[in-house]
């Protein structure tokens, strides 16, 4: 039974019991409808609906979205609650999201526990509320608040919900409080549907559309939600519900909804596999080597998770720099209201920066975030091996370097693992867990455990140059630099990728991280680079000219005194000059051609990564692309997007490009076999095997 009913006196108790999140699948819908009829047959005075396990309901069961809807449909169930002569009270603990929030809207009264949340995250799944959310909500909280809640998908806390009129009470014991509500008072509550309709506000609507254009360009559901909300304002509830249902059903089967569902379930699949039975080491005190941008960001993430953190530096200047870096993140978080004074003080008490390795003699995990040089890392690991307990896990935050070589610098390489964070480390959700040849299961379990307490998305990757993310990024940039050399400008390329859905293009992004990082990697690769592979020297010229990006005030763009970024004709001329030296006749690329080349370059490399087993699955690659590199989530990640094009079409386009350059555009064998066998990349597991 996923919905249980019981009565005490004249009060009916209906409890959703569908672990782990009370998702509202067919059995819950049927159970709720039966509960309405039961309450009426028993002629109860009221019904109190709640969720078992401290969770009201996480919304409709998204797993059902790929199949045809089955009756009873949620809107019909909620209309039965709404129209019943027995008043229902929603007693909300945990979260009431999507359809869960819509159950609450159909109830006469809503009471939330102080820590509970209520929201309409449907747009994050590419749909809109489909069971009355767009129609009942505006009656309660007005147009602007409804549009904001539904188009952002962001939940509200209990106090906020009370203040805007979404709920009636906040109480530590919502069920108890619902029982105590005075019958007369309950009878006087006007149901949402009978409250006056929200007034139309053309200005607020225009502002909302403008905001969406800026923040969610390309996404269909948020704009459709505004349309349906607006249409419903002047219509009777039944007609508004019909329009909402139609829009929901259309969106539910859209490419974007499929893509977002793929990402939703991929994110949730990213956790330690059941086969990994090893226990992680206790995570209490963590040593970090290096208090630069990455080290201090990692330190703050760990402090936020309640751990004790010691940053190790070579000298007192380094210690001072580490203290300043961590303090500036604490102060910035304080200023933004992310933490309060007490938490800031608590973070400071758990943080130390020192040159004395003896202070980490009881640390169970070390994260090396020192300079990207193999020699430095080997020295650091030797020092950590001496200072920490023999069973402590030693990790490196290296972005590119060979973890197996780093591991060979300690006696027991099984305790070495890569924990590749992304800047800013206390904000970016992705954590690449690099598994070396000898990395133990204990080390792996510790990586997963760390990701869990940091609320990051863990993706286990194999050892190669750049692992998964930076290896794909290298192809992305190579394709961009080639187009730059052969005819475009950085801003044309960036604009093409922003139109695709990136927040910023490859050149603006590199100006943020600094051109010197990729330059150092190119120099490291000089001795092993394939001489037959075309090399584009423009980025090297930029570094030689000291144009490293924002940090030097100029890179691919100029940054005149905080006035944002400005196109720099010198850079465009540099590309023209290099093309001249190379005897290239430059051509004009359209935005579509730019997008196609950059996306195909990444897809082709990702297919090789999958084929080599560097990534365990296509969805892991999608998590890396979206959570680490800004690939638009609503496109379904890199491989989800590739599957929406189809392997055959991709191979055909790559073969065309290979006529220009057979080395760079060599078709990945895995793509070839997917095309030949009509298979999806998302069905491929690492090592090129296909899932059953």
- Please name every residue paired with 117 in a beta bridge, in sequence order, or none if there are none: 95, 157
Q: Which stretch binds ligand T1G (CB under 6 A): 97-105, 288-296, 386-394, 502-510?
A: 97-105
Minimum distance between the CB of residue 19 and ligand T1G, rounded to whole angstroms? 9
The interface with ligand T1G within residues 70-89 (CB under 6 A) comprises 74
- Site for ligand T1G contains 133 (CB under 6 A): yes
Q: Is 401 near ligand T1G (CB under 6 A)?
A: no
Between 14 and 28, whose beta carbon lies closer to ligand T1G? Answer: 28
Say if CB 265 and CB 271 are below 8 A apart: no
Query: In sequence order, what are the residues at sequence separation of 6 or more whose Cβ sits closer than 8 angstroms to the Cβ of residue 507?
Result: 480, 490, 491, 493, 494, 555, 556, 557
Rank residues 62 and 485 by Cβ distance to ligand T1G and give the closer one.
62
Residue with tokens 């960001």: 297
Nearest C-alpha neighbor of 674 from the set 684, 664, 663: 684
What string marks each residue from 340 to 379 as x (binds ligand T1G by CB under 6 A) or -? ----------------------------------------
Stretch that binds ligand T1G, among 124-132, 211-219, 416-424, 616-624 (CB under 6 A): 124-132
4-12 own/partner pairs: CB under 8 Å, 24+ apart:
4/31, 5/34, 5/35, 5/38, 5/39, 7/42, 7/44, 10/44, 10/45, 10/46, 11/44, 11/45, 11/46, 11/47, 11/48, 11/179, 12/38, 12/39, 12/42, 12/44, 12/46, 12/47, 12/48, 12/86
Tell me if 432 sits within 8 A of 628, measured CB to CB: yes
Contact status, residue 415 vs residue 443, Cβ threshold 8 Å: yes
CA atoms within 13 A on the CB side of 583: 0
Question: Residue 50 Cβ, how far from ligand T1G at the closest point, in Å?
Answer: 16
Nearest Cα to Cα of residue 76 among 248, 245, 235:
245
Using DSSP's 3-state secondary structure scheme, residue 3 falls into strand
In angstroms, give the least distance from the CB of 200 to ligand T1G: 23
61 binds ligand T1G (CB under 6 A): yes
- How is the chain split among helix, strand and coil, in percent rounded to 5? 55, 15, 35
Smallest gap, in angstroms, from Cβ of residue 685 to ligand T1G? 18
Q: Is residue 51 part of the contact set for ligand T1G (CB under 6 A)?
A: no
Instruction: Determine the interface stretch with ligand T1G among 20-28, 338-346, 382-390, 491-499 (rule: CB under 6 A).
Output: 20-28
Rule CB under 6 A: is residue 63 a binding residue for ligand T1G?
yes
Interface residue with ligand T1G, options 87, 121, 126, 458 (CB under 6 A): 121
Query: 22 vs 399, which CB is nearer to ligand T1G?
Result: 22
Contact in structure between 351 and 285 (CB atoms under 8 Å): no
Q: Is the dihedral of CA 593, 596, 598, 601 positive or negative?
A: negative
Toward ligand T1G, which CB reaches closer, 80 or 410?
Answer: 80
Helices (H) and strands (E) in the chain, counts: 28, 19
Q: Does the CA dihedral 316-321-327-331 come out positive or negative?
A: positive
Classify strands 156-157 and 351-354 as parallel, antiparallel or unpaired.
unpaired
Q: Does 585 bind ligand T1G (CB under 6 A)?
A: no
Q: Mind giving me the DSSP string for 309-338?
A: EEEE-SSHHHHHHHHHHHHHHHHHHHHTTS
Q: Which of 9, 20, 561, 564 binds ligand T1G (CB under 6 A)?
A: 20
For residue 24, the minimal CB distance to ligand T1G (Å) is: 7
Question: Min. distance of Cβ 102 from ligand T1G in angstroms?
Answer: 6
State which residue, 241 or 664, has the beta carbon closest to ligand T1G. Answer: 241
By CB under 6 A, name the one of 62, 301, 360, 681 that touches ligand T1G: 62
Asked if 214 contacts 152 with a C-beta cutoff of 8 angstroms, the reply is no
Count of positions on this chain that bind ligand T1G (CB under 6 A): 26
Which one of residues 97, 366, 425, 681 is an interface residue with ligand T1G (CB under 6 A)?
A: 97
Mark out the alpha helices in 612-689 (DSSP H runs).
Answer: 618-629, 637-645, 647-658, 669-677
Residue 100 parent element (H or E): helix 99-106
Could you tell me the smallest distance in angstroms from the CB atom of residue 252 to ligand T1G? 7
Q: Closest CB to ligand T1G among 61 and 486?
A: 61
Q: 249 vs 344, which CB is nearer to ligand T1G?
A: 249
Selected range binding ligand T1G among 7-15, 60-68, 160-168, 529-537, rule: CB under 6 A: 60-68
Binding of ligand T1G by 232 (CB under 6 A): no
Instruction: Give bridge partners of residue 4 from the DSSP assignment.
Output: 15
Give the residue from 478, 492, 632, 629 showing the smallest Cα distance to 557. Answer: 492
Least distance in angstroms from the C-beta of 122 to ligand T1G: 5
Beta bridge partners of 684: 690
Nearer to ligand T1G, 129 or 466 (CB): 129
Site membership for ligand T1G, residue 99 (CB under 6 A): yes
Of the residues 31, 129, 487, 628, which one makes contact with ligand T1G according to CB under 6 A: 129
Q: What residues numbered 265-294 form the site for ligand T1G, per CB under 6 A?
A: 265, 268
Q: Which residue in the set 58, 241, 449, 681 belongs to the binding site for ligand T1G (CB under 6 A)?
A: 58
* 222 contributes a contact to ligand T1G by CB under 6 A: no
Tell whether residue 229 is a contact of ligand T1G (CB under 6 A): no
For residues 490 and 484, is the Cβ–Cβ distance under 8 A?
A: yes
| CB closer to ligand T1G, 23 vs 614 | 23
Residues interacting with ligand T1G, by CB under 6 A?
20-21, 23, 58-63, 74, 95, 97-99, 102, 121-122, 124-125, 127, 129-131, 133, 265, 268
């Amino acid at each position: 039974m996923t919905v249980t009913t019981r009565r005490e006196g004249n009060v009916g108790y209906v409890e959703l019991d569908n672990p782990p999140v009370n998702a509202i699948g067919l059995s819950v819908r049927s159970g709720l409808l039966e509960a309405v009829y039961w309450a009426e047959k028993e002629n109860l005075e009221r019904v109190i609906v709640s969720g078992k396990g401290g969770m009201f309901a996480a919304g409709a069961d998204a797993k059902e979205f790929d199949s045809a809807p089955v009756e009873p449909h949620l809107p019909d169930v909620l209309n039965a609650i709404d129209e019943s002569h027995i008043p229902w009270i929603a007693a909300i603990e945990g979260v009431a999201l999507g359809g869960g929030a819509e159950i609450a809207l159909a109830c006469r009264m809503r009471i939330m526990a102080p820590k509970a949340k209520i929201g309409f995250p449907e747009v994050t799944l590419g749909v809109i509320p489909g069971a009355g959310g767009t129609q009942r909500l505006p009656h309660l909280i007005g147009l602007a608040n409804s549009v904001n809640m539904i188009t952002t998908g962001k939940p509200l806390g209990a106090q906020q919900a009370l203040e805007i009129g979404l709920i009636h009470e906040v109480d530590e014991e919502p069920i108890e409080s619902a029982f105590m509500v005075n019958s007369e008072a309950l009878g006087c509550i006007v149901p949402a549907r009978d409250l006056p309709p929200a007034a139309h506000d053309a200005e607020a609507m225009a502002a909302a559309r403008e905001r969406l254009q800026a923040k969610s360009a390309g996404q269909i559901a948020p704009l459709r939600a505004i349309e349906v909300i607006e249409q419903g304002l002047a219509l009777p509830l039944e007609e508004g519900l019909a329009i909402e249902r139609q829009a929901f059903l259309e969106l539910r089967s859209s490419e974007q909804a499929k893509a977002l569902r793929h990402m939703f379930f991929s994110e949730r699949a990213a956790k330690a596999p059941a086969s990994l039975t090893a226990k992680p080491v206790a995570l209490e005190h963590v040593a970090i080597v290096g208090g630069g941008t990455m080290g201090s960001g990692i330190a703050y993430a760990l402090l936020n998770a309640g751990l004790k953190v010691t940053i190790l530096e070579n000298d007192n200047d380094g210690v001072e720099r580490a203290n300043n870096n961590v303090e500036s993140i604490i102060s910035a978080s304080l200023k933004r209201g992310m933490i309060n004074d007490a938490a800031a003080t608590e973070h400071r008490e758990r943080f130390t920066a020192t040159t004395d390795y003896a202070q980490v003699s009881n640390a169970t995990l070390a994260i090396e975030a020192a300079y990207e040089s193999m020699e430095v890392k080997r020295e650091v690991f030797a020092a950590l091996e001496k200072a920490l307990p023999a069973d402590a896990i030693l990790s490196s935050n290296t972005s590119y370097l060979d973890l197996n070589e780093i591991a060979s610098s300690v006696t027991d390489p099984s305790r070495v693992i890569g924990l590749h964070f992304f800047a800013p480390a206390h904000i970016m959700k992705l954590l690449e867990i690099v598994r070396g040849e000898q990395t133990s299961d204990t080390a792996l379990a510790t990586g997963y455990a760390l990701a869990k307490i940091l609320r990051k998305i863990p993706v286990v990757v194999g050892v190669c140059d750049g692992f998964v993310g930076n290896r794909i990024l290298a192809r992305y940039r190579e394709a961009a630099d080639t187009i730059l050399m052969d005819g475009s400008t950085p801003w044309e390329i960036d604009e093409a990728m922003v139109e695709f859905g990136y927040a910023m293009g490859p050149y603006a992004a590199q100006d943020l991280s600094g051109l010197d990082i990729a330059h150092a990697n190119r120099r490291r690769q000089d001795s092993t680079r394939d001489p037959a592979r075309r090399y584009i020297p423009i980025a090297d010229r930029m570094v030689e000219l000291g144009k490293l990006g924002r940090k030097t005030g100029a890179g691919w763009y100029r940054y005149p005194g905080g006035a944002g970024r400005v196109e720099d004709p010198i850079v465009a001329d540099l590309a023209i000059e290099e093309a001249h030296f190379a005897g290239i006749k430059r051509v004009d690329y359209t935005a579509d051609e730019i997008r196609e080349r950059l996306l195909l370059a990444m897809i082709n490399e990702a297919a090789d990564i999958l084929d080599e087993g560097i990534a365990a699955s296509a969805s892991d690659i999608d998590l890396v692309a979206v959570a680490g590199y800004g690939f638009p989530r609503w496109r379904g990640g890199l491989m989800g997007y590739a599957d929406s094009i189809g392997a055959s079409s991709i191979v055909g386009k790559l073969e065309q490009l290979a006529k220009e350059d057979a080395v760079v555009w060599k078709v990945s064998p895995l793509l070839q076999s997917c095309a030949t066998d009509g298979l999806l990349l998302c069905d491929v597991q690492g090592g090129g095997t296909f899932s059953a």
